[in-house]
Amino acid sequence: MRVTVIDYKAGNLTSVLKALRHLGAEAVVTDGDLAPIEAAERLVLPGVGHFAATERLESTGLTPAIRAAIARGVPFLGICVGMQWLYAGSSEAPAQPGLAHFAESCARFSESSEKVPHVGWNSLEIRPNSRLLAGVEPGEYVYFTHSYKAPVTADTAATTFYIEPFAAAVERANVMGVQFHPEKSGATGLKILRNFLSWQAKGTE
Amino acid sequence: MITKRIIACLDVHDGRVVKGVQFVDLIDAGDPATQAARHAREGADEIVLLDITATHEGRQTLLDTVRRTARELFVPFCVGGGIRSAKDAAQVFEAGADKVSVNSAALAHPTLIDAIGRSFGAQAVVVAIDARRDPEAADPVRDAQVFVQGGRKPAGRRVVEWAREAEARGAGEILLTSMNCDGTRTGFDCELTAAVSESVSIPVIASGGAGTVGHFVDVFGRGKADAALAASIFHFGVSSARSLKEELAKAGVSVRLPC
């Protein structure tokens, strides 16, 4: 299977590519070139670092191409900042809009005595019927590193608790996102990436 | 619930894992890729590879080692040793590291922390601090000094102050090694670890002195560490991360299990 990984210069893609290729995917990288997105069978938007980096998706004209691919039914997976970009925006960079596929916005963890960023392995509470998280047992651990998070809504596929409950995964039809790093989450993470790579629209499975 | 991380550390010299006491008397402890894979399989939450070769010829060997080690590793992987520029860091990331650890070069040129953080994100920058207490000092914890060059030379900085500056410049984590405790298996420096951990809001990884399960319980409790590094207790089959974590869970420490 072929998967197109979008490079918008937000961190390092090596680990994501390595994990996808380990699972047998033919992973290709595009950075600003629209043709590979228009032809994509599956799209992955990774991303670590600052939400402001997503500005490059707009300046290179990728945003409308991604929107069109999603509308065509192409399975899409956003990772970390790549997931947050699916929302309307983030208080990390208020001037920078997200895709607004999900109407809510991302915000920093509430003030507390706990450390921010949230770094380390934390457990997933999985909502029923998640296809992305099929076969993942409640309480399985995945690796997080982030200071901003998406709210828990009807589209939340899994929640994690740190200071407060937040969306560890989001899923609506072909559009999926994970706040954690599946490429760094051992066997559990690989299982989730495998689910994404084998995701088919209902009725075409 | 967030868990305390057990990080397996591989000190690497000329492409081989080595172990010494207080950075001298090195013993061969195997192939880095094989050792890293074994630790991940046996439940380590993260792997740190510290290159202590520090020669120019050693750089290419290191990149080959990182590439080989990263190939089948699907837990966070941090690489340190000899990273002097954002370009050095970029090569190590390209070879498959998720984080780099910087030490002497960051003390010499603190803007290195800002530069790597800007390009790769704060989560990718670990600032390693080699700390030594002088028992004669008025306040041995607050006055603990940073050392460079493998612990041979004082950097003229206080540990807690340098940790704060590193955070302000965009470090994502602090790796704090107690030179006094390193390799002795007599326990972590919990007082110093707690002092640093309470001074910053980024995670602190405690290192140096692990010998028993109780030492880990102490450093996660009293020492307020977010993660702990273990090297000597994992070598030569003494213990595994999984068995260590099972013991920690019995002692009430939140850890990733099963793993």
In degrees, to the nearest 5, what angle opens at C-alpha A160 toward C-alphas B197 and A110?
A: 55
- Chain A: give the shortest CA distance to residue B95, in Å: 8
Q: How many CB atoms lie within 10 A of CB B134?
A: 12
What is the structure's pLDDT at A79?
97
Chain A and chain B share a number of CB contacts under 8 A equal to 92
Check CB contact of A141 with chain B, cutoff 8 Å: yes
* DSSP 3-state of B65: helix
- A68: tokens are 């069109």
Our CA-based measurement puts residue B253 at a distance from the nearest CA of chain A, in whole angstroms, of 14
Q: B89 and chain A: CB distance < 8 Å anywhere?
A: no
Residue B6: pLDDT band (50, 70, 90) is very high
Chain A hits for B93, Cβ within 8 Å? 12, 14
pLDDT band at B253 (very low <50, low <70, confident <90, very high): very high
The confidence score (pLDDT) of residue A95 equals 95
Instruction: Specify the pLDDT at position B190.
Output: 98
The pLDDT of residue B54? 63
In the structure, what pLDDT confidence band is assigned to residue B20 with cuts at 50, 70 and 90?
A: low
Q: In this predicted structure, what is the pLDDT of residue B107?
A: 96
Q: How far apart are CA B224 and CA B142, in angstroms?
A: 16
CA A41 to mean position of chain CA atoms: 17
Beta bridge mates, B178: B131
What are the beta bridge partners of residue B154?
B147
Q: What is the mean pLDDT of residues B51-77?
A: 87
Nearest-CA residue of chain B relative to A159?
A: B1
Mean predicted confidence (pLDDT) in B236-244: 78
Residue of A nearest to B118 (CA): A49
Instruction: Write out residues in chain A with pLDDT < 50, as ranges.
Output: none
Percentage with pLDDT > 90 across chain A? 89
Would you say residue B129 has pLDDT above 90?
yes
What pLDDT score was predicted for residue A197?
Answer: 98
**pLDDT for position B135:** 84
pLDDT digits (tens, 9 = 90+) for B172-184: 999 999 999 988 8
Band of pLDDT at residue B113, cut at 50, 70 and 90? very high
Burial (Cβ within 10 Å: 0-12, 13-18, ≥19) of residue A98:
buried
Which residue, chain included where needed, has tokens 């941090």? Answer: B78
What single letter denotes the amino acid at residue B48? V
Q: Is A75 on the interface with B (CB under 8 A)?
A: no
Catalytic residue among B45, B130, B189, B218: B130
Q: Considering only CB atoms, which chain A residues are within 8 Å of B201?
A: 115-116
Pick from B95, B161, B96: nearest CA to B127: B161
When CB atoms are compared, the residue of A14, A115, A184 closest to B74 is: A184
User: How many CB atoms lie under 10 A from the CB of residue A1?
Assistant: 12
Q: Sorting pLDDT into bands at 50, 70 and 90, what band is B237?
A: low
pLDDT, residue B22, reads 53
Say whether the peptide bond before residue B140 is cis (omega within 30 degrees of 0).
no
Q: Nearest-CA neighbor of A176 among A186, A165, A166, A167?
A: A167
Q: Is A181 one of the annotated active-site residues of the chain?
A: yes
Q: How far is B115 from chain A (nearest CA, A)?
A: 13
Cβ of A18 and B71 within 8 Å?
yes
Does the distance separating the beta carbons of B172 and A145 come in below 8 Å? yes
- B44 phi/psi in degrees, rounded to 5: -65, 140
CA distance A72 to chain B (A): 32
Residue B238 pLDDT grade (very low, low, confident, very high; cuts 50, 70, 90): low
pTM comes to: 0.95
Position B170 pLDDT exceeds 70: yes
Q: Which residue has the tokens 């559009």?
A: A175
Strands, E, within chain B: which ranges?
5-13, 16-21, 24-28, 46-51, 77-80, 99-102, 125-132, 145-148, 153-158, 173-178, 204-207, 227-230
Q: What is the mean pLDDT of chain B?
A: 91
Q: Which residues of A touch B98 (CB under 8 A)?
A: 12, 15, 184
Give the C-alpha distances (Å, rounded to integers) separating B9 from A89, A202, B35, B168, B238.
38, 46, 10, 26, 14
B135 or B191: which leads in pLDDT: B191
Q: How many whole angstroms separate alpha carbon B84 and alpha carbon A175?
A: 41
For residues B8-37, average pLDDT: 82
> How far, in Å, CA of A160 to CA of A84, rounded?
15
CB contact under 8 A, A121 and B172: no
pLDDT digits (tens, 9 = 90+) for A109-147: 999 999 999 999 999 999 999 999 999 999 999 999 999
Which of B194, B151, B135 shows the shortest CA–CA distance to B143?
B135
For residue B136, give every residue at least 6 positions away whose Cβ sits within 8 Å of its Cβ, in sequence order, or none. Answer: none
Question: What is the CA B141 to chain-centroid distance, rounded?
Answer: 20
Q: Which of A19, A48, A50 sits opposite B124 (nearest CB)?
A: A48
CA gap A88, B240 in Å, rounded = 45
A93 contacts in B (CB within 8 Å)? none
Say yes or no: B88 contacts chain A, CB-CB below 8 A.
no
Q: How far is CA A94 from CA A11, A89, A97, in A?
A: 21, 7, 7
